[in-house]
A and B are shown apart, each in its own frame.
Chain A
Amino acid sequence: MINHSVFQSSPANVSRANLFNSARLVWDLTRKDLLLFFLDPRAAVLCFAIPIILGLGFGKIFESTRDVAKTKLSMILVVEDDHPLTRQLVQAIRQSPRIGIREETRAEAQALLTARRGNVAVIIPSGMGASLSEKTQLIRSKLWQKETEPVTPAMRVIHSPEALLEASWAEGVMTEIVWKELAGKWLASLLPPGAAPSFERPFPLEQEAFPKSSASFNSYSHSFSGMSLQYLLFWGMDSGLLLLRERKRGVWRRLRSAPVPLSLLLLGRIVSTTLVAFAQVLLTMGFAWAFCGVTLQGSYLGFVIMALSASLMAATMGMLVAVMGQSEARARNLAIVAILGMSMIGGYWLPSFLLPEWVKLGSMAFPTTWALRGFEGIFWTGANLWETCRCALIVSAYSVAALVIAFWWLARQETHGILEKGQS
Chain B
Amino acid sequence: MADRFALEVDDLHVRYGHLHAVCGLSLRLKRGESLALLGANGSGKSSTLSALCGLVQPDSGSIQIDGISLTQNPGLCRSRLGVVPQDFAFYEEMSGRDNLMFVGRLYGLHGTRLRRKVREVLDFVRLADVAHRPAGTLSGGMQRRLNLACSVLHDPVLLLLDEPTVGLDMNSRDAIYQLLESLRDRGCAFILTTHQLHEAEGFCDKVAVLRKGVLIAQGTLAELARQNPQPVKKPLHPELEESRVDSVHHFAHELRGPQGTNLESVLSRILAESNAREVTP
| Partner-B contacts on A (CB < 8 A) | 1-4, 6-9, 21, 24-25, 28, 32, 35-36, 39-40, 249-251, 253-261, 414-421, 423-424
Q: 23 A–B contact pairs at CB < 8 A?
A: A2-B79, A2-B117, A4-B79, A7-B79, A7-B108, A8-B75, A25-B106, A28-B102, A36-B93, A36-B94, A40-B93, A249-B87, A250-B85, A251-B89, A253-B55, A254-B150, A256-B53, A258-B107, A259-B108, A415-B57, A420-B47, A424-B42, A424-B47
CA distance A251 to B83 in the complex (A): 11
- What's the Cα separation between A2 and B78 when bound, in Å? 13
Q: A35-B94, A414-B55, A420-B55 are in contact. Are A259 and B79 (CB under 8 A)?
A: yes
Whether A260 lies near B109 (C-beta < 8 A) is no
CA distance A18 to B93 in the complex (A): 31
- The answer for the CA separation of A258 and B104 in the assembled complex, in Å, is 10
Minimum Cβ distance to chain A for residue B60 (Å): 14
Closest to A248 in B: B87
Contacts of A255 in B (CB 8 A): 106
C-alpha spacing A418/B21, complex, angstroms: 13
Q: Are A253 and B73 in contact (CB-based, < 8 A)?
A: no
Q: 9 tightest CB-CB pairs across the interface, nearest first?
A: A250-B87, A7-B75, A254-B89, A250-B85, A257-B53, A250-B89, A28-B105, A257-B83, A258-B106
Q: Once bound together, how far apart are the Cα atoms of A418 and B16, in whole Å?
A: 8
B54 & A257 in contact (Cβ 8 Å cutoff): yes
* Contact call B108/A251, Cβ cutoff below 8 A: no
By a CB distance below 8 angstroms, the chain B residues around A415 are: 56-57
A35 touching B98, Cβ below 8 Å:
yes
Residue of A nearest to B57 (CB): A415
The total number of A-B Cβ pairs within 8 Å is 126
Known: A256-B54, A416-B16, A417-B21. A261 touches B75 (CB 8 A): yes
Q: Quote the shortest CB–CB distance from B129 to chain A (angstroms).
A: 21
Residue with the greatest number of chain A CB neighbours at <10 A, chosen from B19, B88, B105, B154: B105
Chain B residues lying within 8 Å of A420, measured Cβ to Cβ, are 16, 46-47, 50, 55-56
From residue A293, how far is it (CB to closest CB) to chain B in Å?
A: 39
Shortest C-beta distance, B7 to chain A (Å), equals 14
CB distance from A163 to the nearest CB of B (A): 50
**A251 contacts B55, CB within 8 Å?**
no
- Nearest CB in chain B: distance from A61 CB, A: 37
Partner of B78, one of A25, A36, A258: A258
Q: Are A414 and B78 interface neighbours, CB within 8 A?
A: no
Contact in complex: B107, A2 (CB < 8 Å): yes
In this assembly, does B268 line the interface, its C-beta being within 8 Å of a C-beta of chain A?
Answer: no
B81 CB–A CB distance under 8 Å: yes
Residues of A within 8 A of B16 (CB): 416-418, 420-421
Say whether B124 faces chain A, with CB atoms less than 8 Å apart: no
Return chain A residues, CB-CB under 8 Å to B106.
25, 28, 255, 258-260
Asked if A259 and B107 sit within 8 Å, CB to CB, the answer is: yes
Q: A323 vs B5: C-alpha distance in the bound complex, in angstroms?
A: 37
Contact B89 A253 (CB under 8 A): yes
Please tell me if the beta carbons of B93 and A39 are within 8 angstroms of each other in the complex: yes
Known: A28-B102, A39-B134, A259-B75. 11 other contacts (CB 8 A): A2-B117, A7-B79, A25-B106, A250-B88, A253-B85, A259-B76, A260-B106, A261-B75, A414-B57, A417-B56, A421-B16
Please give, as numbers and ranges, the residues of chain B lying within 8 Å of A421 by CB-CB distance.
16, 19
A6 CA to B47 CA, complexed, in Å: 28
Q: Which residues in A have their C-beta under 8 angstroms from that of B8?
A: none
Contacts of A28 in B (CB 8 A): 102, 105-106
- What distance in Å separates the Cβ of A326 from its nearest Cβ neighbour in chain B? 15
Query: Which B residues lie within 8 Å of A6 (CB)?
Result: 108
- B106 → A minimal CB distance (Å): 4
The docked-state distance in angstroms from the alpha carbon of A152 to that of B252 is 97
